[in-house]
Amino acid sequence: MDFRSSHVAQLYQAARPATQPGARDQAQGAGEAFARVARDFADTVRQGEEAAKSTMTGDADPYALVQALAATELAVETAVTVRDKVVEAYQEILRMPV
């Protein structure tokens, strides 16, 4: 495979827009998806809390409690892991010698 410099320059030019802050709608779509995930997470945690509360007051079955708490545990685990990964990636970028 041969790499001609003109071809590479062309490709580079074509890829330039990706680094521009103008790619608005993409960022917006990602932001929306992230907001949805965050909302799902908050809902799961809230359900777990509700189940725990109603069990304490004595009007919920233990199965609902265990299920809600297990779901909360999984959700929190996922969120914490993803957060750690994102923070790690950010720090990795910060450490990059410029």
Partner 1 sequence: MSDFARTLALSASGMQAQAARLRHVSENIANADTPGYHRKLVSFGEVVEGGRATGEVETGPVTLDRTELTRIYDPSHPLADATGHYDGSNVDLVVEIADAREAQRSYEANLRMFDQARQMHSALIELIRR
Which region, judged by CB under 8 A, interacts with partner 1, from 5-13, 20-28, 48-56, 68-76?
Answer: 68-76
73 binds partner 1 (CB under 8 A): yes
| Cβ burial, residue 1 (10 Å; 0-12/13-18/19+) | exposed
**Which two structure tokens, joined as six digits, stand for 65?**
């409690």
Q: For residues 52 and 80, give the distance between their C-alpha atoms in angstroms, rounded to a whole number.
A: 21
67 binds partner 1 (CB under 8 A): yes
78 binds partner 1 (CB under 8 A): yes
91 binds partner 1 (CB under 8 A): no
